Each structure stands twice: as C-alpha cells, then as structure tokens.
Amino acid sequence: MIFEPIVPIWVIFALLILGGLLAYWQYGRGGFFGVKIGHRLTLLVTKSAIFLVFGFLLLNPQWVREVSTERPARMAVLFDTSESMNSLEGPDKPTAFQKLRDAFFRQVYPLLSDRADLRFYTFSTKLATADPEILRKEENAGGAATNIRGAIQETLSQQGSSPPAAILLLTDGNHNWGPEPTVDILKAEDSDKFIPLISVSTQAYGEIKKSMALSQVTLPAPIFSDEDTEVRFQVVTSGSEGQKAKIHLLMEKEGEPGEWTEVDSEEKAGEGVTELPLMAASTQGSIPTRFPEGGNYRVTVVAEAEGLGSASKTEEIYVEPGRWRVAYYCGRPGWMNSSLVRRMATVPRYALRVAIDQGNTWSYLVTGRTEPRGPEGESDVEKGYISLEEVAFDADLVILEGLGPDQVAQLPADIIKERLEKGAALLVIVGKSDPVNQGVLGRIGAADRVPAITQSSILAPSKREIAFTDLTAGHPVTNSPIILGV
C-alpha cells in the first residue's frame, strides 16, 4: 500500500498563500470597517493560525487516502520432462526439450518476467518445483511419460486458495494435445475463477536421446568401521530400457586435512563391478561394502552403460571407528560383598567418550543380567543369568569397578588376560581411599601395563582407534582417578 494527499501539494501551498493575502488585505490596513488596530492584529493572527492548522491537517496522514497496488499476475510454467522430450531431430540437433526451453527463455521469458510472477515446475513421473537458472543448464529431461492432466491438477493444488492467472505448458504433444499450440480453459476447484491453459508444443522426433545420470547416493548413519554397510544409489536414464549398467564403487580416505588417499581393494569389501538392469526412467540399486577403519571418507559411485556414457556422484561421510564389545564387572559393597555384577554390550566409540567424560555409573553403557551369582550348587545358566565367562569372551574393553578380594577370585582371569594380550583395553575405576587391587591386575596380566595409580594413564589399544584425553579430573561422582591401560 502507498499513500498520497487528497489534493496535489501545490494546491495546498496556494491556499495557504491566498489565506495570508486575504488576511492582510482585510486587517493589515488601518481604518477598515472601523475596527481598531488591536482588534485587527488579533484577527490577523487568528485567521493565519486557522490556515496553518488547515494546511497541517491536509499534510497529516489522516487526511490522505490509501492507494492499493496490485501484485503482478501469477503464472505457472510447466516443462514437460518426460522421456519423449529427449527425442532428437537429427545428429547434433537439439532435443525437443532443449528446443522449447531455449525458445521460451529467449523470446517469452524477457516479456513475462517483469509482468508476471512466474512459478516454474517440471513433470514426468511426478511434479517438482524448478529453478529457472537450473533449467537453463539442463541437458536432458530423462523421465517417464505421465498423464498431463494429472500434472496440471497438481499444479493448481499447489497454488493454495489463490489459483494462478494462467498456466503455460511446454510439451512435445505426446500426451493429450497435438503438436499445434492449443488453448484450454480450466476451472479452479472451490472457486468460480477460470484459468486459461496455453499449451505450446513442438514435434517429437523419432530417435530418443540416450542419457544417464546418478541422482542420489545415500548411506546409513551412523556408519561403523569393519561392519557391513550398504551404499544406495539411484540411476536416472533416458532411452535405456532393457540395458545393463556397470556400477563401480570407489572409496577414498582423508589423511591430512584435504589429502585423500584411495582405499586399496584388499582393505574393503564390495569393491569391483556390479551389473544393474536399467528400467525405463529410474533404477535404484545398492552395493555392499565395509570401511576398514574410522575417519572421513569420500565415496564415489560410477555408472557406465553402452551408448549412455558414464555418470558419477560423490558423497563425503564420517565413519565411526567401530563398536566396542564391553565387559563390565562391578562389586557390591556391604552384606553382598561376595556378589559380582556383570554386564555386556556392543557400544559405539562416542558412547564410551560420553561415559568417560560424564562418569556416573558405567552400568548404563551395557545391557544384560545384573543379578549376583546364584547360590551354591546352582549355576548361572540354570538361574538364567549370563555367565561371567560369556561377558569377557571377545571383549574389546574390560571395565572393573569396586572389586574386593572375593569378587577378584570370581573373575574369569584367563579369558580377560587373553583379551588384553590381543589388544583389548582395560578400564579400572577406583576411589581415593580405595587403591587399585594389585591382585586383580596381577591375575589378569595387567600389573605391568597400568603405570602409577596416582594419576590417569591413557593408552590406545593396539588394534582400535580411541584417544581419551583430559581425564585427570577423575570420576565426576566418586572423584576417583580413571585408569585405562592396554
């Protein structure tokens, strides 16, 4: 909305000047109508003030009128991107899509861009909002044919309660209309408004331009090293039904920032060539693979097919160093000082990072039976408890907390010692008044692996990627040092 005075500004100033002249003529000269000079001056000031107030009111917003400005008409522009739009007029000739697109942006767009609010859409298998700058650079259409009426109705529904003033359709005529320009009248739903539909068509040629592109490459999240992972992708093609494409998976790992090194085929799974039968418009596929270690990776999917050329797409991802199989043993103080709580779980590296940073109880990291050992004569298996040996089997990290002599005697020391020798990590949580039980370290072969107990010692397991630092503050709850050795 804009505002303008009821009368032009020069009229207002003219009235003010005229009022001043009249006041002077009536009261500025002596002896007029026998009025005394004092009265004449009073009337002069009063009348001048009236004209000044009148002029101020004319300039004030309450004395102006509102002038409405209409928005430019909204027009929907639909580009047909079905497969037939890739038909070739001849060798090295533009396709039907390119021909219509170039003609529109060269001749029509400059005329309409300032006079209408243009909304661009493309349609083949479904309607999609389009960017005109991207449309200018598109080389092919590459979609499947569809019912053109459905695309038009979908366009109308996306306009909301205010339908467009007109719809401009650019197509090859292989739908509901022939190659001649046609006009139709549509009626918007829940409205009495009629919408002109202008269809501009070009002849579809016999030969379809063959093309191929990779529209997306997706991977699950989070991804863990040394675990099977699927790389999913979608291949969009034109004129390729019945053909097979060869899919290659390339993998690069970032060493120093910005430096990428190709991962050897021996270090990963799923590398090689996979054949993928191509459908009419788009084909989805996946390649199983495995990342050898954690870090930043660049994954590239390359598709090749005879007569279609090749296409590739790259995604950068972060791979977690892996999941750790955690064995947790905790003693129970007091009257249950002979009991031993044990738990086990497969835990991501970042969960361990949070656990060490935040502390509290370690038991939330893992799941499993927490009850103590069963009574004499009844095994853990008979009681339905997980066995102490099963907890330690294949462990990557062993956590010991609050163990007394009775609990130390129950530990599966041989299994824990074997795991430590194979590169597993050991985490011992102790209190200030409760020194490390050297007996437990000796039983599991870790006495020479854990240095001074007065401060935290952090060492990385030989075959795992983990780097816990700044732990000298101790356990946030017990204020005890945290000791990690290998």
**Of 136-140, 282-286, 449-453, which gets the smallest average pLDDT?**
449-453
Confidence (pLDDT) at 121: 84
Interval 40-95: pLDDT, tens: 676 677 677 666 666 665 665 544 455 445 677 888 888 887 777 776 655 567 77
456 lies in which domain range? Answer: 323-485
CATH number of the domain enclosing 187 = 3.40.50
Q: Which helix (H) or strand (E) holds 204?
A: none
> In terms of domains, do 463 and 416 share one?
yes
> In terms of domains, do 332 and 465 share one?
yes
Q: Buried b vs exposed e over 269-286: b needs ≥16 C-beta within 10 Å?
A: bbbeebebebebbbbebb
Among 320, 349, 372, the domain-final residue is 320
> In terms of domains, do 296 and 343 share one?
no
> In terms of domains, do 59 and 29 share one?
yes
Q: Is 405 helix (H, G, I), strand (E, B) or coil?
A: helix
pTM over 0.85: no
**For 123-148, what is the mean pLDDT?**
65
DSSP 235-292: EEEES-TT-EEEEEEEEEEESSTT-EEEPPGGGSBS-SEEEEE--SSEEEEEEEEE-S
- Using alpha carbons, list the distances in angstroms from residue 308 to 113, 136, 334: 36, 22, 76
**Of 88-102, 129-143, 358-372, 393-407, which gets the smallest average pLDDT?**
358-372
| Number of independent structural domains in the chain | 4
DSSP 29-72: STTGGG--HHHHHHHHHHHHHHHHHHHHHHHSGGGEEEE--PPP
